[in-house]
Structure formats: structure tokens, C-alpha cells
Amino acid sequence: MSVTSAAQFQAVSQVFGDFTAVDAIDLTIPEGKLTTLLGPSGCGKTTSLRMLAGYLRPTGGRILIRGEDFTTAPPEKRNLGMVFQSYALFPHMSVADNVGYGLKLRRVSGSERAKRVTEALEMVGLAHLAGSRPKQLSGGQQQRVAIARAVAIEPDLLLLDEPLSNLDARLRLQMRAEIRRIQSETGLSVVLVTHDQDEALEMSDQMVVMKDGRIQQQGSPQDVFPAPANRFVAEFLGYENFVPTADAQVTVRPEHLHVNARQSPAATSDGLSLDGRVTDLAYRGVDVLVTLAADAPGSSSPDPIRLVADLRASTAPDLRIGDEVAITASPGHLVTLPA
């Protein structure tokens, strides 16, 4: 057993009736790192988190925390800090009592408890709101209290279920950095569930992309982003253009596609080079989204394929709908996927 694993899923399944929410996944959560479980709704990410936290008992497999089997232990026996999507603050208790609740259960003495509550609240910058009720706080503040409450018990793992989905866009960006900071300050092993690929890319040490209860790909953002393992992961990470080739398909991101008025033969010999036509233009200030219909040499279908290019407005050629264009991409930006 690796010493650096905070938790492990070993062939863990969760079957509800005839629906398999999680299908025999194997997963190692590294110690002291931030791991995100990423995927669309229904992919099994939250179910996996709830099994790790003890709210759902796996229907198959084992869950180890720090090398010990916790598969059937109830949540209160696990010492994990969970932050819920709805924050789940206790509405009838003050902020300080919320944060101190877990410490009280651990029989931490009054003075020590007060000290640790203050520390936890200071960490999230809310020490001045200790006496408030959750109802009096903004969404962002409630979120911070929920994190402080989970961290105060010095958990073996900090689990966050879609922690940012109820915040507005600006606050969301701020909280991403905040959660990273807390993670590095405390050195906690963190598991964060999200459906937002930007969030996962920005925050993760390790990201785990899931679909239909199975892990599609895992690794650091630097490993996963440039090399999606399959079309699902590619689409989920924002790849939009899929071009069939003889035995596989290649994909390229919209911002890596070049569009130029058609000269004689296309300039690039390796990489991607297609002829096509502009079907739609959307000016968006900084950039222009160009929708294209391209002739696909490798495709078995006679229909043209649809491509999207995201061009910088300042350098984009002057295009009109209906223009015949050359579409190119350099080889370094092409990702080959299984067909």
C-alpha cells in the first residue's frame, strides 16, 4: 500500500435498483493534494463522494481511508470534513457554534474549543461574524463558514460537493483561489466534486473525469487537457472540432483553428488542412466565432462536417457568410482520438 494515499476506492460500485450509478471504480486519492471529480450530472461523481463520506454504503468493492477499511463505517466514525452544496449550516446555531459543533462532539474543552473556532474562522476571514446566525450571512460567507466547520475538526480528508455552484460568477473565481489557499495552508487532502471543467483545470492537482459511473481519464490538468483520452473527455474539456481520418479522428480546439481566404493549394502540408465555407459569424468583442462547413476527406458521409473557429477579432481576416475559406491547424494542436 502506498503511504501517499489518503483514500482508495477498490472496485467500488453503487447500484440503485437497475441503475448503476458507479461501476466498479478504482481510484487513489493522493495525500496532501487537491483531487477533483469532474463530469456531467449523473456521472457518479457525487455518489462516489457520498460513499467516501459514508452517506451511501457501496453495493460492491472496498473503500480505504489512510489504508484502513472504512467501507461500512457510518459517517460519524470517519473523521472527514464534508462541505455540502447547500452548505448545510445549522440554522439554529451561531456561526461559532456551527464551527464548534464537531469539536464539542470530540470533547474538546471549552477554552481550547473557542481558540480553534477562532482559528478556523480567521482562516476564512470571518472571525468578526462568530456571533451571527447563518441566515444573516451572504452565500459566500455561508460557504466559508461551512469550510471552517469542516476544517476545524482536523479531518483526514476535506470533501467538497459542488461547493461553488450556488455562488455568482465573480465570487466563484474568488473562492477557487480561496480553497486552493486553504488547501496549501492546511496541507489537507481535498476531494472536490464539480461539473465545471474550468474549475477543475484551475484547482486540481489531480483531476478525474467521470461518465456513466466510470472513470474516463485521470491525471494532472497539464496531462489531461492537451491529451484527452477519448471524444467524451475532449468534448467535456471544450474541444469542438472532430475530423474523421482514415482509422481514427482528430480534434482541435476552436482557438487553434486558422481560417483564411482560400488561396491556391493550402499552405500547411502536415497538420490539418481542409477546404470549407463560412456558415455563420458571431462577433463577441475580443473574439469572433466562425462556424464553418468543411469537406471531410476521411469521412464516409457525404455531408460536410461542422467546425467552429475562435479567432481574435484584432487579427481575424475580413470574412462574410458564404466565403470559401481554407481551414488549417498546426500539428502540435491536433489530438488524435480513437474513432
Partner 1 sequence: MNTRRPVAASLAVLGYIVMIAPLFFVVITAFTAGSTVRFPPDGFSLRWFEAAVTYQPFMSALASSLQLAVFAAVASLALGVPVALAIHRGKIPGKGLLEGMFLSPLIVPELVVGLALYQQFMIGLGMNNLTTLAIGHTVLMFPYAVRVTGASLALIDPAVEDAARGLGASPMRTFFTITLPLLRPGIFSAALLAFVTSFNNVPLSLLLQSREFRTLPVTMLDYVQQNYDPIVASTSVLILAGTVLVAVVAERTVGFAKIFGGINR
- Give me the residue label for grid cell 489557499: 181
- The one among 6, 43, 63, 101 contacting partner 1 by CB under 8 A: 101
- How far from 258 is each of 98, 273, 274, 288, CA to CA, in Å? 55, 9, 10, 12
Q: What is the distance between the alpha carbons of residues 161 and 152, in angstroms, rounded to a whole number?
A: 18
Does position 45 interact with partner 1 (CB under 8 A)? The reply is: no
Interaction residues for partner 1, span 272-331 (CB under 8 A): none
Give whichever of 29 and 53 is closer to partner 1, judged by the CB atom: 53
Does position 90 interact with partner 1 (CB under 8 A)? The reply is: yes
Smallest distance from partner 1 to CB 102, Å: 3
Interaction residues for partner 1, span 142-201 (CB under 8 A): 149-150, 153
Does position 80 interact with partner 1 (CB under 8 A)? The reply is: yes
Three-state SS across 283-326?
A: ECCCEEEEEEEECCCCCCCCCCEEEEEEEECCCCCCCCCCCEEE
Give whichever of 154 and 240 is closer to partner 1, judged by the CB atom: 154
Does position 105 interact with partner 1 (CB under 8 A)? The reply is: yes
Does position 57 interact with partner 1 (CB under 8 A)? The reply is: no
Q: Are the C-beta atoms of residues 163 and 183 closer than 8 Å to each other? A: no
- The one among 11, 40, 69, 74 contacting partner 1 by CB under 8 A: 74
- The one among 4, 26, 67, 106 contacting partner 1 by CB under 8 A: 106
Residue 26, judged by CB atoms within 10 A of its CB (0-12, 13-18, 19+), counts as exposed
Question: What length does the chain have?
Answer: 339
Q: How far apart are the first and last CA of the chain?
A: 37
One-letter amino acid of 18: D
Does position 110 interact with partner 1 (CB under 8 A)? The reply is: no
Residues making contact with partner 1 (CB under 8 A):
53-55, 74-76, 78-82, 84-86, 88-92, 101-102, 105-106, 149-150, 153
